[in-house]
């Protein structure tokens, strides 16, 4: 069996006085898509933000390729891509400018590559239009274009199906499966009815969690 990319050991998280999860342990293997599920407020976003290093209010241990993330944070950040539940794009910038900004500090990519990614998410003809003039789904697609040029093996995706039409959902599902087939791993939260073949589930809720494989 392959070594896990990511391991969580005895994670514990409280928000105000409420325990969201305790003794939460799971492993994310290469070649897998894991859906993090649970009712509203069960801690899905909190968990993904913790994994992405955007939330410090937790206890436990996280490991990347067998070693504590705390001892190799930069290495982990280079190998992880997080897309949050807000598209995180700037309305005054165009899709091309936003994608350039999203790639900043990562691998510099020529504009031709960025334009191709935007076209690949259905934004052909909108590459140079200010994002404030785009629809909600089109704005989401600007952020999703990042996935088409991503070489990070681990994707943490929070509610990225929001506002995407049926055809776009199919394309996004195919992209997640492709990342897994390439040996990467995806953790995704969604209220959309996602059921990919072989998909794993990590279920949060009422302070308890179960890891189904």
Coil, strand, or helix at residue 120?
helix
CB of 19 to ligand ATP, least distance (A): 10
Beta-carbon contacts of 114 under 8 Å, excluding residues fewer than 6 positions away, are: 96, 99, 100, 103, 145, 149
Our CB check for ligand ATP shows the closer of 20 and 172 to be 20
Q: Which of 75, 165, 190, 137 is nearest to 176 (CA)?
A: 190
Calculate the CA 23 to chain-centre distance: 23
Our CB check for ligand ATP shows the closer of 20 and 154 to be 20
Interface segment toward ligand ATP; rule CB under 6 A; list 12-20, 58-66, 71-79, 110-118: 12-20
Our CB check for ligand ATP shows the closer of 20 and 164 to be 20
Site size for ligand ATP (CB under 6 A) = 11
Residue 91: CB atoms within 10 Å: 12
154-158 vs 80-83, strand pairing mode: parallel
CB of 13 to ligand ATP, least distance (A): 8
Burial of 147 (0-12, 13-18, 19+ CB in 10 A): buried
Q: Find the binding residues for ligand ATP in span 25-44 (CB under 6 A).
A: 38, 40-44
CB of 200 to ligand ATP, least distance (A): 18
Rounded Cα–Cα distance for residues 181 and 204 (Å): 26
Q: Are 153 and 30 in contact (CB under 8 A)?
A: yes
Interface segment toward ligand ATP; rule CB under 6 A; list 15-23, 74-82, 106-114, 145-153: 15-23
Q: Is 45 in the site for ligand ATP (CB under 6 A)?
A: yes
Binder to ligand ATP among 12, 15, 86, 132 (CB under 6 A)?
15
Site residues (vs ligand ATP, CB under 6 A): 15-16, 20, 38, 40-46
């Amino acid at each position: 069996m392959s070594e896990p990319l990511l391991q969580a050991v005895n994670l514990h998280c409280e928000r105000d006085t409420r325990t969201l999860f305790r003794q939460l342990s799971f492993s994310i293997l290469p070649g897998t898509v894991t859906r993090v599920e649970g009712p509203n407020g069960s801690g899905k976003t909190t968990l993904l933000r913790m994994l992405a290093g955007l939330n410090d209010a937790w206890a436990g241990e996280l490991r990347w390729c067998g070693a504590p993330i705390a001892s190799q944070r930069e290495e982990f950040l280079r190998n992880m891509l997080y897309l949050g539940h807000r598209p995180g794009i700037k309305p005054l910038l165009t899709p091309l400018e936003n994608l350039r900004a999203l790639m900043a500090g990562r691998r510099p990519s020529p504009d031709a590559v960025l334009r191709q990614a935007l076209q690949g998410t259905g934004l052909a003809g909108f590459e140079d239009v200010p994002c404030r003039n785009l629809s909600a789904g089109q704005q989401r697609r600007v952020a999703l274009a990042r996935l088409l040029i991503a070489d990070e093996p681990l994707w943490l995706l929070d509610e990225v199906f929001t506002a995407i039409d049926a055809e776009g959902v199919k394309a996004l599902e195919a992209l997640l499966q492709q990342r897994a087939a390439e040996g990467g791993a995806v953790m995704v939260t969604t209220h959309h009815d996602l059921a990919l073949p072989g998909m794993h589930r990590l279920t949060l809720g009422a302070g308890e969690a179960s890891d189904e494989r």
